[in-house]
Amino acid sequence: MSRLGTIARRSFLFGSVAIAGGVALGVWYLRSPGTNPLRPEPDETTLNPFVLIDGNGVTLIAPRAEMGQGTQTTWAALIAEEMDLAWDQVQVLHGPPAQAYYNSALMAENAPGPAYGKSAFQHAVGEALGTLGKPLRMQVTGGSTAMKDGFERMRAAGAAAREMLKAAAAARLDTDPGLLTTENGAVIGPDGQRFPYTELAEEARGHAPREVLLRDPSEWNLLGKPLPRLDMVRKATGTAQYSIDVRPEGLRFAALRMSPRRAGMLRFDAEAAEQMAGVEKIVDLGDGVAVIATNTWLAQQAVDAIEIDWAPAPYPETTDAILAEIEAAFDRAPDSTLLDRGDPDSLPDGASEISAEYRVPFLAHATMEPLNATAHVTAEGLKIWSGNQLPTFTRSACADAAGLPERRVTVHTTLMGGGFGRRGELDFSVLATRVAAALPGTPVMTTWSREEDMRRDFYRPAAIARMRGAVKDGEAVLFDAAVAAPSTARQALERWMGFAPPGPDKVHVEGLWNQPYAIPNARARGHIAPELKVPVGFWRSVGNSYNGFFHESFLDEMAHAAGADPLAFRIALADRAWRPAARVLEAVREMSGWPEKPEGTGRGVAMCFSFGTPVACVIEVAESDGGIRIPRAWMAADVGVALDPGILDQQLVGGLVYGLSAAIMGEITFADGMAEQENFYDYDALRLPQMPEVETRILETQRWISGIGEPGTPPAAPALANALFDLTGTRHRTLPLNRAVSFAA
Partner 1 sequence: MPTTLTVNGTAHEIDLPAEVPLLWVLRDALHLTGTKFGCGVAACGACTVQIDGEAVRSCQVALGDVWGDVTTIEGLGTPAALSKLQQAWIDHQVAQCGYCQSGQIMQAAALLAETPQPDDAAIDAAMAGNLCRCGTYPRIRAAIRAAAGMEG
- Answer for which of 1, 272, 368, 671 binds ligand FES (CB under 6 A) is 368
Count, residues in the chain: 745
Among 26, 40, 190, 228, binds partner 1 (CB under 8 A): 228
Task: Kindly write out the interface string for residues 487-526 of this chain, putting x where it contacts ligand FES by CB under 6 A and - elsewhere.
Answer: ----------------------------------------
Residue 218 or 237: which CB sits closer to partner 1?
A: 237
CA neighbor of 707 nearest in space, from 70, 228, 26: 70
Report DSSP state, residue 217: G
Select 367 or 592, whichever has its Cβ closest to ligand FES. Answer: 367
Taking CB atoms, the residue at the shortest distance from ligand FES is: 368
* Pairing relationship of beta strands 265-269 and 463-472 according to DSSP bridges: unpaired
Q: Which of 181, 217, 297, 598 binds partner 1 (CB under 8 A)?
A: 297
Give the per-residue contact string, 49-78, with ligand FES (x = CB under 6 A; - = no). Answer: -------------------x----------
**CA atoms within a 13 Å half-sphere pointing along the CA-CB vector of 654:** 19
**Is 68 a binder of partner 1 (CB under 8 A)?**
yes
> Closest CB to ligand FES among 210 and 687?
687
**CB of residue 67 vs ligand FES: minimum separation in angstroms?**
8
DSSP state of 402: H
Task: Candidates 125, 415, 665, 735: give the one binding partner 1 (CB under 8 A).
Answer: 415
CA–CA distance, 422 with 453 (Å, rounded to integer): 10
Q: Does 234 bind partner 1 (CB under 8 A)?
A: yes
361 binds ligand FES (CB under 6 A): no
Q: Is 280 in the site for partner 1 (CB under 8 A)?
A: no
CB atoms within 10 A of CB 100: 22
Check residue 732 and report its DSSP letter.
Answer: P
Using CB under 6 A as the binding rule, whether residue 718 contacts ligand FES is answered as no
Give the torsion sign (CA, 76, 125, 122, 106). Answer: positive
- Using alpha carbons, list the distances in angstroms from residue 291 to 226, 262, 384, 521, 687: 46, 20, 19, 60, 34
Among 182, 449, 514, 547, binds partner 1 (CB under 8 A): 449
Residue 595, number of CB atoms within 10 A of its CB: 11
Kindly write down the DSSP assignment for every residue of 609-652, as one continuous string: EETTEEEEEEEEEEEETTEEEEEEEEEEEE-SS-S-HHHHHHHH
- Please choose which of ligand FES, partner 1, none residue 414 contacts, taking the beta carbon within 5 to 8 angstroms, the exact cut-off set by kind: none
Answer for the pair 459, 260: CB distance below 8 angstroms, yes or no.
no
Stretch that binds partner 1, among 350-358, 447-455, 481-489, 500-508 (CB under 8 A): 447-455
Closest distance to partner 1 from the beta carbon of 690 (Å): 9
Residue 149 CA to residue 694 CA, distance in Å, equals 29
How many Cβ atoms from other residues are within 10 Å of residue 693's Cβ?
A: 10
- Which value, in Å, is the radius of gyration of the alpha carbons in the chain? 27
If contact means CB under 5 to 8 A according to the sort of partner, which of ligand FES, partner 1, none does residue 186 touch? none
Rounded-to-integer distance, Cα 226 and Cα 228, Å: 7
Q: Which residue's CB is nearer to partner 1, number 333 or number 688?
A: 688
One residue of 35, 119, 378, 679 binding partner 1 per CB under 8 A: 679
Beta bridge partners of 619: 604, 633
Nearest to 344 by CA among 335, 331, 353, 357: 353
Q: Determine if 739 is a binding residue for partner 1 (CB under 8 A).
A: no
Residue 33 contact partner, candidates partner 1, ligand FES, none, CB within 5 to 8 A by sort of partner: none
Burial grade of 620 (CB within 10 A; 0-12, 13-18, 19 or more): buried
| 481 belongs to the binding site for partner 1 (CB under 8 A) | no
Q: Tell me how far apart the alpha carbons of residues 157 and 80 are, in angstroms, rounded to a whole number.
A: 10
| Greatest Cα-to-Cα distance within the chain, rounded to the nearest angstrom | 82
Confirm or reject binding of residue 232 to partner 1 (CB under 8 A): yes
Closest separation in Å from C-beta 491 to partner 1: 23
Q: Does 391 bind ligand FES (CB under 6 A)?
A: no
Give the binding range for partner 1 (CB under 8 A) out of 26-34, 374-382, 464-472, 679-687. 679-687
Distance in Å, CB of 675 to ligand FES, minimum: 19
E strand or H helix that includes residue 526: strand 521-528
Size of the site for partner 1 (CB under 8 A): 67
Q: Is residue 666 close enough to count as binding partner 1 by CB under 8 A? A: no
Q: What is the DSSP letter of 459?
A: B
Alpha-carbon distance 706 to 668, whole Å?
31
Site for ligand FES in 409-438 (CB under 6 A): 418
H-assigned helices in 403-464 = 427-436, 450-455
Return the H-helix or E-strand segment holding 129.
Answer: helix 120-130
Compare residues 367 and 392 and give the one whose CB is closer to ligand FES. 367
319 phi and psi, to 5 degrees?
-55, -45
Letters for 366-405 (x = contact with partner 1 by CB under 8 A, - = none) are xxxxx-----------------------------------
- Least separation in angstroms between residue 626's CB and partner 1 is 12
Range in contact with partner 1 (rule: CB under 8 A) among 39-47, 137-145, 427-435, 657-665 = 657-665
Examine residue 580 and tell whether it contacts partner 1 (CB under 8 A).
Answer: no
Residues 6 or more apart whose CB falls under 8 angstroms from that of 109 comprise 115, 126, 143, 145, 506
Among residue numbers 213 through 232, which ones bind ligand FES (CB under 6 A)? none
Residues at the contact surface with ligand FES, assessed by CB under 6 A: 68, 368, 418
Residues at the contact surface with partner 1, assessed by CB under 8 A: 67-70, 226, 228-229, 231-242, 244-245, 247, 253, 277-278, 294-298, 300, 366-370, 415-420, 447, 449-450, 646, 650, 653-658, 661, 679-681, 684-689, 691, 693-694, 745
